[in-house]
């Protein structure tokens, strides 16, 4: 435990980012981070996400945070990684659905000739 934590007599048994915590603002910040990541990734075209190197940069950033000694930073990395994975999963699902519709339309056009 850092000296400043001991000097201020911080109760380390209370985890500020948990739902049960008395620190409601910290939980709201976590929820807002999750929403931000989902919205940001959802707005980016999948091709751009890969070609720009953003996905690689985010992965490196999240890996560094996940190795932090502070529990709250590891938690931020976990929330961001889960949000990132969820957003990418939603994009994959939407692309798969669009591809299936396009294939059905193509087959329908071929049969109609």
Name the burial class of residue 25, with classes exposed (0-12), middle (13-18) and buried (19+) by CB atoms within 10 angstroms of its CB. Answer: exposed
pLDDT of the residue at 97? 93
84 and 94 Cβ atoms separated by less than 8 Å: no
Reported confidence tier of residue 12, pLDDT bands at 50, 70, 90: low
Q: Is it the case that residue 5 has pLDDT exceeding 70?
A: no
* pLDDT digit string, tens, across residues 87-97: 888 888 888 99
Q: How many H helices and E strands in the chain?
A: 5, 0
Q: Is it the case that residue 111 has pLDDT exceeding 70?
A: yes
**Residue found by looking up tokens 């070609």 in the block:** 51
- pLDDT (mean) for 60-68: 86
Looking at per-residue confidence, does 80 or 15 come out higher? 80
Sign of CA dihedral 35, 86, 50, 104: negative
Instruction: Return d(Cα 60, Cα 49) in angstroms, integer.
Output: 15
């Amino acid at each position: 435990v850092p000296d400043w934590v001991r000097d201020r007599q911080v109760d380390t048994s209370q985890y500020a980012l948990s739902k049960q915590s008395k620190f409601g603002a910290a939980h709201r910040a976590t929820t807002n981070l999750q929403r931000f990541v989902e919205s940001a990734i959802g707005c980016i075209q999948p091709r751009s996400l890969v070609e720009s190197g953003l996905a690689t940069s985010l992965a490196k950033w999240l890996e560094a945070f996940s190795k932090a000694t502070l529990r709250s930073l590891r938690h931020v990395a976990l929330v961001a990684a889960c949000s990132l994975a969820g957003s990418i999963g939603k994009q994959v699902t939407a692309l798969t659905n669009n591809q299936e519709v396009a294939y059905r339309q193509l087959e329908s056009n071929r049969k109609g000739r």
